[in-house]
């Protein structure tokens, strides 16, 4: 499941289970959006020292099981995930009405 993270002076296993609900708990996540989220998470793994063990979406929230290094605080992980996935899933050029996309 998880691997040990070996640094110069320590060995760690930090696992975080983070849940992000949609605004007003609206049912905006579907299977297409879940696949897109998984692809975005793979790109985040390449740039940062973060490993996504599981990514799953329900109708109104998303679960992330994440492994990270001790230099990243939980706050930094949450900000990173919300900003990067939010920009990819809901780009600034698209119309957003109260937290969800307007279907064209």
Q: What is the pLDDT of residues 14-67, one digit of tens each?
A: 899 999 888 788 888 888 888 988 999 999 999 998 999 999 888 888 899 999
Instruction: Check residue 97 and give its pLDDT.
Output: 45
DSSP string, 36-82: HHHHHHHHHHHHSSEEEEEEEE-SSEEEEEEEE-TTS-HHHHHHHHH
Q: Could you tell me the pTM of the whole model?
A: 0.73
99/39 Cα distance (integer angstroms): 21
Instruction: Check residue 3 and give its pLDDT.
Output: 81
For the chain, domain boundaries: 5-101
Given a contact cutoff of 8 angstroms between Cβ atoms, the answer to whether 102 and 96 are in contact is: yes
Instruction: Check residue 93 and give its pLDDT.
Output: 53
Task: Phi first, then psi: give them for residue 77, nearest 5 degrees.
Answer: -60, -45
Kindly tell me if the per-residue pLDDT of 69 is higher than 50.
yes
Instruction: Check residue 90 and give its pLDDT.
Output: 65
CATH match of 5-101 with 3.30.450.20: no
């Amino acid at each position: 499941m998880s691997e040990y993270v070996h640094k110069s002076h320590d060995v760690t296993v930090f696992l975080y289970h983070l849940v992000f609900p949609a605004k007003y708990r609206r049912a905006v996540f579907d299977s297409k959006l879940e696949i897109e989220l998984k692809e975005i998470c793979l790109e985040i793994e390449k740039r940062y020292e973060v490993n996504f063990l599981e990514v799953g979406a329900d109708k109104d929230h998303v679960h992330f099981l994440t492994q990270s290094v001790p230099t990243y605080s939980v706050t930094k992980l949450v900000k990173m995930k919300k900003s990067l996935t939010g920009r990819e899933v809901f780009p600034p050029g698209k119309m957003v009405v109260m937290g969800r996309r307007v279907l064209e």
